Structure 1
Amino acid sequence: MDIIVFKLGGSILAKLPNSFFETLVKVKQDYKCQPVIVHGGGPEITEALNKWNVKSTFVNGLRVTTADVLHVAEMVLSGSLNKQIVANIQRAGGSGIGLSGVDGSLLTTKPLDSKLGFVGEVSSVNNNMLNMVINQDSIPVISPIGIDADGQKYNINADMAAAAIAIALKGKLAFISDVPGVMEEKSSGSYVYPELTKSKIKELIQIGVITGGMIPKVQSALSVLEAGVSEAVILNGCQPADVTQYIQGNPVGTKVVHEEAYYV
């Protein structure tokens, strides 16, 4: 059975139609494809921090996480958002089981950078925990809060968490966005890159075509390939048919591929 890790960013969650979750349930049933969801929640965390007057700052796109910020982030990610996604799956006729990286030490974590506070990177993934959920014919829904051996919890960038899980499960990784892929505006109209290599990604970042939240997506896609995962792709979740087209092997979205694969 093919495993596909779907990374859902916080900015896309509110935009996803019910048909997206219906599509995930259908492809699991019809194509024997096992979805695994990893989700973020940046906008919702920011909203909650503002509501409770908790200050936060960013360094290179990552939120500096104090103990107070971590408390709010865990509440938003592992609480409301995680269960919202589970409910959407079950409303679509499937079975979803919500987990955080803390549950069963699913995501064992170490500090990423002392300047970032309680921001972590994944050092190991508990595959047994995920397989228990998969063997129950359910879709795991994972919030990116991890834990270390001493019981300290960490906020993990969701793209990085999704990449680590895809590597551990030897699955493919699909970044769900609200655009059809990596796009460039040209005189002839919007152009979607069907495939990108590491060198092309570097070039597009330098010239400002790939910016903002798309940068960690393509970088995480590259890290997955370098670790041996077969494929990473950026898909438009607002057009759920794109998910089905991708699983059927049709060209859709932007695939991130090895240099040698591109030139074959």
Structure 2
Amino acid sequence: MTTTAEAAVAAARPRGGIVQSVNDSLVVAKRNLIRMMRIPEMIIFGLIQPIMFVVLFSYVFGGSISVNGNTSPAAYREFLMAGIFAQTVTFATAGAGAGIADDMHKGLIDRFRSLPMARGAVLTGRTLADLVQTALTLVVLAVVALIVGWRTHENIGSVLAGFALLLLLGYAFSWIGALIGLSVRTPEAATSGGLIWLFPLTFISIAFVPSDNMPTFLRTIAEWNPFSATVQAARDLFGNLPPGYVAPDAWPMQHPVWASLLWSIVIIVFFRTLAVRKYRSASV
């Protein structure tokens, strides 16, 4: 009955155009947000892991890792938090992929494809809903970080810009998750496929340790890693770079804000194109 009503409403609207695509995307985003609200454990479990990372890394590794010659726990917490924030927004990729794979498995994607709606709206709406959930997670995580001693040292505009770059990276990576979710047969496979490449991406970076002592080839990978660019940009905008810090010579480390923007835009354009193309030809 619901599907029939949706089809009737969609058929009554003009097809095509940017306005139609935006409207369809917002409808799908609303549907996914309502679903998230009705399953609160999805949000709760999504918060537990990053909070554990904040507490464990702050108190287990704090004082054990030198940051620009400073081994105090407070210095490491300030160095760490941008990395934890970035890891949190990118790990949401697995959830995005699993959600789309679940919709595929249940046949919901096929029902959407039968409606006269913009082709990319289903995926765009899903990624926008995931972005809202990620933003909520970041807010909670920032509060926890403040409780354990993290502080920013720039104005509010700069701090908000740092969080905006983090969310942009998370949105970009959600398109990778969308492509994975459309390419596998089960939500479990999407979850595994969404995480297996994220661990080397996040750990071969400057998120948790400086790149100074890495082997040359790993240091090069870490410094040109899009994840590292966003972490470096967030540290810069939060005022969390250690006193006397000298950035590595790699261009993304010298210009992290621009590098973060460029990487995120390139990832969105490339993987959105592939995901929409996959969606058009997908079948259960």
Q: One fold, TM greater than 0.5?
A: no
Q: Which has the higher strand share?
A: 1
Q: Which has the higher helix share?
A: 2
TM-score for both structures, normalised by structure 1: 0.32
Q: Which one has more relative contact order, counting CA pairs under 8 Å at least 6 apart?
A: 2
Q: Which has the larger radius of gyration?
A: 2
